[in-house]
């Protein structure tokens, strides 16, 4: 389902892109891969439509398994990839059920707003 997508980044995501990806080229590679496989990230149990995908961390020389985690929302009908968070595998614990519920509610509101704003798919 590759093609053209609109990338939207949460402010906190944007503020740490260089820290985690290291270069514009590496970040562009990630984006290109995600566009080619937008549903590759697994839906976070209890927090749908949030997805989490693994990505290698070249800064630390780790592959996908020990590397970065990127949390995002894929909204296929309007061709949007909303990037929410990025972190190293070793930086965070699993979310609690309450945290997942809060994030799920927020994500659903974001999806509703973006669908209303971008009724037509991105050309």
Can you give the CATH number for the domain in which 24 is found?
A: 3.30.2310
Residue 122 lies in a domain: no
DSSP E strand boundaries for 6-106 = 6-9, 42-43, 50-55, 68-75, 80-88
Average pLDDT of every residue of the chain? 88
Average pLDDT over residues 66-93: 90
> Which pLDDT score is estimated for 64?
66
What does the angle CA 81 – CA 113 – CA 83 come to, to the nearest 5 degrees?
Answer: 25
Residue 1 lies in a domain: no
Q: What is the pTM of this model?
A: 0.88
C-alpha closest to that of 39 among 15, 68, 69, 73: 73
pLDDT exceeds 80 at position 80: yes
Give 20-63 pLDDT, tens digit per residue.
Answer: 999 999 999 999 999 999 999 999 999 999 999 999 876 765 65
Q: How many structural domains compose the chain?
A: 1
Residue 85 lies in a domain: yes
């Amino acid at each position: 389902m590759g093609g053209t997508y609109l990338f939207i980044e949460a402010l906190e995501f944007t503020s740490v892109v260089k820290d985690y990806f290291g270069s514009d080229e590496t970040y562009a590679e990630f984006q290109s891969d995600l566009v080619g496989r937008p549903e590759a990230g697994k839906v976070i149990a209890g927090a749908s439509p949030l997805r989490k995908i693994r990505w290698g961390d070249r800064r630390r020389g780790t592959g996908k398994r020990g590397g970065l985690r990127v949390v995002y929302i894929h909204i296929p009908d309007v061709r949007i990839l909303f990037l929410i968070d990025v972190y190293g595998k070793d930086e965070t614990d699993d979310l609690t059920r309450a945290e997942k519920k809060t994030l799920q509610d927020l994500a659903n509101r974001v999806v509703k707003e973006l669908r209303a704003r971008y009724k037509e798919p991105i050309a």
